[in-house]
Structure 1
């Protein structure tokens, strides 16, 4: 059986060949031009503005390290990609805001550490007793400050502290019915510029099974309620047989979101502030995902609506 080209197919092939040849000629010219500029400047440093670096970084990121090497650019691929990493880092740089903060100064870390230590080692000590112990070593702290420190670290007042077990004991007692939830973010260049995508994951602590709950650029309350509805589905929801779900104090996990979970029989367990060691399993998972999601093409494979289980992390 012979295959006969139609006239329009032959014209299309000729046109594609001509366009490809034209593109190759343009690329060859640009390579030659770059080589001439390199010879002219030699080892002299080429000074660029921040805007020029940004333009090169955005275009260079789309090409990738391998194609940048083939183009023979004026700057090394490592330099161009380093500029792009700096763009992402600058987006999350809040150092200027921290310097402008006003109000009551922070409590010294040594006082916080001693207060927590006294409370854990002496379950019967109240705020006055802890305050007196601190005064004996030169730190005069009021009862309300001690109360705030202990609340921030999830430590109950003296009457309840003696009856409350450790975090490790709590986890072991509810291992089979406990899950964890956490966010991670990836940066993606879109038509509107550098965009942050929020990826939500849930983990079953006993098996380390991880579900990707969904991703969005705006994790508002309505979106979170939709996620909660999917997770607590009585037929195949991830939290169907769970009684507790661990979460940090991210404002995205709002009171309305937590109340919805309680009404479905899942009790939210909010961790104390600045306690990443209490959710290390979920943190390791999100760190691994964030390390792997470095290209725009990877993110395209995700839907903006919640999807079912896609992966599993080993213990």
Structure 2
């Protein structure tokens, strides 16, 4: 015990003597450096090797580099004094590189309107590559490098033309909406427990619905006759139809497709268990169930046919459609009432269909 006390006394005495020639600034720098090293050790407790982050190196280099080398060698550091000096030289070199690096003029930024035009051309023409877009801009007198067009497309995450040229199902529906029909069967049960099958067709562009009929036995002969009736209705309406979308239901015979193909209508089959490929038709089926079938007690086939006829008239001539800006297939949106003073004299009358199952509202005559 006495030997240890004597050792500590001598050690502290020599440490005090070492501090005598040091200035207050050097002492403060040493204290701050030692404290920061303790913080680094506390931050990495349990680590096999102490690692200094870039901010740790910058702080220690700024504190210890001004000290004389002999003072550095006497400090209790976790790294060699030469390492601290090397950190300091690296900081000086980085600062010198930033301040003395020559500034190049570089390429001026692309005008925002030109950038927007490039993205518009690619969006409207998916098969155009960057060189085709560059050529179109050149014919309009817009001077821009082809590499700049390529860089803009890359920055926006737009794939090269070969990857964009493939037509997706959504693009096909949008581009062919005016010439598209979709059909599907709907099942319902009457009060007597008899199952009925409803065959309906909808136009993609106008959302007009055509209910081709209902039967308890959708035989091949009945479905084929429904196809003939549809072709005659389209001819009477002078409608130009190119495609008809349907699922792979076994109730559709081969003759159904043949009749449509003879009329110039190509049948497009949806994928197996993929109702979203016929989403517009499926959405109408949901509407029909929610607004009619689930709210009506169907007595028999004759009653069902009458209810469907009334709902078809309501859907085509009155019911607003969000996809058509609240218009109906056979009714345009009326002119808005701008004279607010007339609102006090509005006379809105209700008309009931199917004994009040469906309500329609109109201005009084």
**Same-fold call, TM cutoff 0.5:** no
TM-score w.r.t. the length of structure 2 is 0.38
Q: Quick check: which has more Rg, 1 or 2?
A: 2
TM-score w.r.t. the length of structure 1 is 0.43
